[in-house]
Amino acid sequence: MKTLYAPGRIGALEIKNRMVMAPMVDGFGIGGVPSERSLEYFRVRAAGGIGLIVVGNVHVDPEHRHLKPEFHLYEDSFTEKLKPLTEVIHKEGARVFAQLIHQGRYARSSEYEGRVQAVAPSAVFTGMTRETPRELTREEILKLEDNFAQAAGRALKAGFDGVELCANSGYLFGQFLSPLTNKREDSYGGDLESRTLFLTETIRKVKKAVGDKMPVTVRMGGNDFVSGSNTNADACQIACLLEKAGADAISVTGGWHESRVPQVTMDLPHGVFGYLGKNIKQQVKIPVMMGNRMDIFAAERLIEQGDADFAVFGRPILADPEFPRKAAQGRYDAIRPCIGCNQGCLDHSMSGKAIACLGNAECGREYELKDREGLLPTQVRTENPKKLLVIGAGAAGMEFARVAAMQGHKVTIWEKEETYGGQLRLACAPPAREDFKYLADYLYKACVRLGVKFCFNRQASAGELLRQLGEGEADKLVIATGACPAAPPIPSEAGMVTVQAWDVLAGRAETGKEIVVVGGGAVGIETAILMGEEGTLTPKALRFLMLYRAEDPDTLYSLLNRGSKKVTVVEMQDKAGRDIGKTTRWIMLDRLKKLGIPVHTGFIVTEIKKDRVIIQRGKERLELPADTVVLAAGSKPDDSLYEPLREKSSQVFIVGDAKTPGKVMDAIRSAYDLAASIGR
């Protein structure tokens, strides 16, 4: 039986297992070359046991010199500068490919030296950049093909084991492939074979430049998921043309950045796009690599079933660089999950920031965090173990405990609820947000493995905690009590059922049939979706009705979106969901729309009557009939334990939302940093 952990081959190159790190924008390079930060970031990932690392975004076009801090191979001077990168990766036993890219119409002119206009097969406007690119001439196309070939030659000299051509997600090759963006009437436009010509000619030139010395692969969309663009059937045909042109493997992912089918968010089931690669694999003899919202279980299935030859992981290796080794050893519980939140990775890179990871506070900081011996705080054993008492088993409390326990401290957590997770339990309550639970489970199991003692249903008082310190039961106290929901001072008439969104999410509060949610931030929107989905078709019912074609697709679609409650959201700011990252916000707002949940933005709730809510925007006044009001008006730190203690002892610390309410990522990072500072 094929397994993910057995060696695989691409062309003549042997790779120690079937796990591949996807090309990603990280923002750690400086001036097109790897920084110390890049080197350590990749070294740590290579050391985690991955078979192949594809280094993303290596630019090839000297006419379009990217200002972003990614890697360049558009001229010879970069060859030597990229060598340290391939060396560190090889030293840790992994193979490394360079992904050669031209962004075409996906680049803004401001991203290029000298503000050069972006180029594309045809001058088709894109909402991604709000610019219209210039159409490439035939001579320029041939020149670009040469640029790719020359860059591949430099990659070989820099020590890369292979090159991958980026034809996925709607970048330049993808723009040539699509009838939506390729309107050319010369030999590079027209039918599918002609639209593939730029790519097939490039493959041939690249192969000529590198000979048999290294494999040449192509990453492509298995379906563009854009109406009128290439489907999976088209992708299968394209893959055959690429194989004929000499490609050594096809790496398949999902659709374009412009797709209205979510590609990267938490609501995608793990491995959902596996069928795209499976269909392509049935058409070609060369290896197929499959990625996109991959987790280890989906990857194992894919390889064992023979639906792909390699599994490509992007964000999972940000969340846990050691997951390949842990999985190979069967230590699945020890893998820190990527929860598809995008908070630290894609949302950062889309706003021009270096990437991070919500769950992994070390991601991208490996160089900054390591000590003189090259060890991270989690790898250093203390010579002076302390007894640490943590109050609160939410994300911050458990992350603090995990890191401190790894250092050898003796940690106990008191939690007033009957279980762990804190606000992570609320975050995972709305539909398609359950991955937050996996993070809570990971932290809990990691703590238990490390010997952290959990005391549930354990209330703490300031006096008792001081006694713990005074009697030497604890050397330090860490207050990680989280936040509590804010209650806005809205004049209210008796008779209206008014509850907190947190209580709805926790299943502690009943709501009626006509609900007004006060607050259109993440919590308000997620709670509105949770309530709006009540009464819609369940996944099991959908499967049954589809399987027997009991209803037509339009009826099923309508049943998926028609709940039994009437929900309305009121937000005082001019936009709802301001605290939700760019990659996820549009999906949440789209879900509200599909569920028929109106959002009144720019309105203030002026009064709650017994049967309606009065809202006002300037002179505009609306009355919203309601039987329940759900408050989602932000949170405030729960520092009631910390305040009486901090004056009395220097051994009391506060962390996470209890200090400053923020995102889960902030809580985890502050907890990691506090534990790291307690350190030795």
The footprint of ligand SF4 (CB under 6 A) covers: 315, 318-319, 338-345, 357-359
CA 332, CA 624: separation in Å to the nearest integer?
Answer: 49
Contact assessment for residue 402 and residue 446, using Cβ atoms and an 8 Å cutoff: yes
CA 71, CA 34: separation in Å to the nearest integer?
Answer: 7
Contact assessment for residue 251 and residue 222, using Cβ atoms and an 8 Å cutoff: no
Contact assessment for residue 605 and residue 621, using Cβ atoms and an 8 Å cutoff: no
Give the Cα-Cα-Cα angle 563, 565, 570 (nearest 5 degrees). 115
CA 231, CA 178: separation in Å to the nearest integer?
Answer: 10
Task: Supply φ then ψ for residue 155, to 5 degrees.
Answer: -60, -40
Distances from the Cα of 507 to the Cα of 429, 566, 567, 588, angstroms: 9, 19, 17, 21
Please name every residue paired with 288 in a beta bridge, in sequence order, or none if there are none: 250
Residue 174 or 316 having the CB closest to ligand SF4: 316
Min separation Cβ 11 and ligand SF4, Å: 30
Contact assessment for residue 35 and residue 27, using Cβ atoms and an 8 Å cutoff: no
Min separation Cβ 160 and ligand SF4, Å: 25
Residue 362 or 627 having the CB closest to ligand SF4: 362
Min separation Cβ 570 and ligand SF4, Å: 29
CA 192, CA 181: separation in Å to the nearest integer?
Answer: 13
Residue 342 or 568 having the CB closest to ligand SF4: 342
Min separation Cβ 669 and ligand SF4, Å: 11
Min separation Cβ 575 and ligand SF4, Å: 23
Please name every residue paired with 313 in a beta bridge, in sequence order, or none if there are none: 21
Residue 345 or 676 having the CB closest to ligand SF4: 345
Residue 347 or 657 having the CB closest to ligand SF4: 347
Distance of CA 350 to the CA centre of its chain: 11
Residue 435 or 571 having the CB closest to ligand SF4: 435
CA 387, CA 391: separation in Å to the nearest integer?
Answer: 13
Residue 11 or 324 having the CB closest to ligand SF4: 324
Min separation Cβ 268 and ligand SF4, Å: 11
Min separation Cβ 403 and ligand SF4, Å: 17
Residue 270 or 409 having the CB closest to ligand SF4: 270
268-287 burial code (b ≥16 CB/10 A, e <16) = bebbebbebbbbbbebbebb
Min separation Cβ 53 and ligand SF4, Å: 16
Mark out the alpha helices in 514-652 (DSSP H runs).
522-532, 539-547, 553-561, 582-594, 642-646
Min separation Cβ 339 and ligand SF4, Å: 5
Min separation Cβ 608 and ligand SF4, Å: 37
**Residue 211: how many other CB atoms lie within 10 Å:** 9
Residue 345 or 479 having the CB closest to ligand SF4: 345
> Residue 101 is which amino acid?
I
Residue 13 host element (H or E): strand 13-15
Residue 298 or 357 having the CB closest to ligand SF4: 357
Residue 288 or 341 having the CB closest to ligand SF4: 341
Cα torsion at 101, 105, 108, 112 (round to 10°)? Answer: 50
Residue 76 burial class via C-beta count within 10 angstroms: exposed 0-12, middle 13-18, buried 19 and up: exposed
- Per the document, the length of the chain is 680
CA 515, CA 598: separation in Å to the nearest integer?
Answer: 11
Min separation Cβ 21 and ligand SF4, Å: 12
